[in-house]
Amino acid sequence: MIELRTAAEIEQMRPAGAFVASVLTALREKAAVGVNLLELDELAHRMIRDAGATSCYIDYHPSFGAMPFGKVLCTSVNDAVLHGLPFDHVLRDGDLLSVDFAASVDGWVADSALSVVVGTPAPEDLRLIEATEVALERAVAAARVGARLGDIGAAIGGTAREYGFRVNTQFGGHGVGRTMHGDPHVPNDARPGKGMRLRPGLVIAIEPWFMAGTDALRTDADGWTLRSVDGSRGAHSEHTVAVTADGPVVLTAR
């Protein structure tokens, strides 16, 4: 069921968005050569405890997950592109790291993701990250009252093709509110002018993610981490966005 939020409720969601943004900012600053993924997860866990927030991931167990997630971050490295389960891995020079984080503050959820290169960046990795960020910026701009879901998907898919990347449509954005994943599904590729019309009060996570050489995924042995089938690298950008009469509001702006 799609739920529309009042202006007052959107204001109540701002602390969750600000908290998620602050955690991702701290993680981006912490990520460096020699840092273990488990250290990043512990930093986020500590910030959750200090803020009195609640993790949306640690007990999460959807149908596609092998077991409850058990961590508070998704950390996807290089050819891991989504749902990366943090493990005992020390970041190396040139690693492409995507971090996805969602938390609840006072009963409201926000969800966001970013990608960075640790150490010395390869130009092709920076271009891949740029593509997701440009796609996100264009998709947010399309999230206006009277537009349609397909306009958001077209902005993302069109950007991917502009940069020469394919689009996987198995996973995309979603509604956000009292829970992390709700209706509607927000596609990462679609025809403009098609789909549900956007109304004031709709709050969605918009999350373009691209892989450099393929649009196909495989599931890692941990039962969670999704990797490109050809070993090419992936990048991921995401914001929680409220559709309002005054235009889109990025609740997780950093």
Q: Is 207 annotated as a binding residue?
A: yes
Q: Is 100 annotated as a binding residue?
A: yes
In angstroms, the CA 58 to CA 23 distance is: 16
Strand order in the sheet with 217-219: 80-82, 226-228, 217-219
DSSP result, the chain: ---PPPHHHHHHHHHHHHHHHHHHHHHHHH--TT-BHHHHHHHHHHHHHHHT-EESSTT---TTSSS---SS-EEEETTEEESPPP-S-B--TT-EEEEEEEEEETTEEEEEEEEEE-SSPPHHHHHHHHHHHHHHHHHHHH--TT-BHHHHHHHHHHHHHHTT-----SS-EEE-SSSSSEEEEE-SS--TT-SPBP-TT-EEEE--EEESS-S-EEE-TTSS-EEETT---EEE-BEEEEEETTEEEETT--
In angstroms, the CA 15 to CA 252 distance is: 9
Q: Is 185 annotated as a binding residue?
A: no
In angstroms, the CA 177 to CA 248 distance is: 16
Q: Is 181 annotated as a binding residue?
A: yes
Annotated binding site: 83, 100, 111, 174, 181, 207, 238
Annotated binding site for a divalent metal cation: 100, 111, 174, 207, 238
Annotated binding site for substrate: 83, 181
